[in-house]
Amino acid sequence: MITKTYQLETLTCPNCMAKIEGALKKTKGVKESEVLFNSSRAKVTFEESIVDSEVIKNTIEKLGFKVLGEK
């Protein structure tokens, strides 16, 4: 398992946060996800043998939110 934090473009409402969090939790290989509204960050714990960082970023971006970076 690995945990990464993704910096997102500014989230404008709590519904945006819930939308991203819900999609990440449905992604195969993701164990936990937490989206922080105030800092516009998504913290994701996932199994690298099942899913990679690109899939997680693509999942977020398909919802219409830009990923600005990761660490």
pTM of the entire predicted model: 0.89
pLDDT for the residue 19: 93
Q: Which two tokens stand for residue 63?
A: 């919802």
Is residue 46 within 8 Å of 30, Cβ to Cβ? yes
pLDDT for the residue 42: 95
Q: What fold does the segment set 2-70 form as a domain?
A: Alpha-Beta Plaits (3.30.70)
Amino acid, single-letter form, for residue 59: T
pLDDT for the residue 22: 94
pLDDT for the residue 14: 86
**Kind of pairing, strands 30-36 and 2-8?**
unpaired
pLDDT band at 13 (very low <50, low <70, confident <90, very high): confident
Cα–Cα distances in Å, from 60 out to 42, 44, 48, 49? 9, 11, 17, 20
Q: Where are the domains of the chain?
A: 2-70
Mean pLDDT of the chain: 93
pLDDT for the residue 63: 94
Rounded distance between C-alpha atoms, residue 4 and residue 7, angstroms: 10
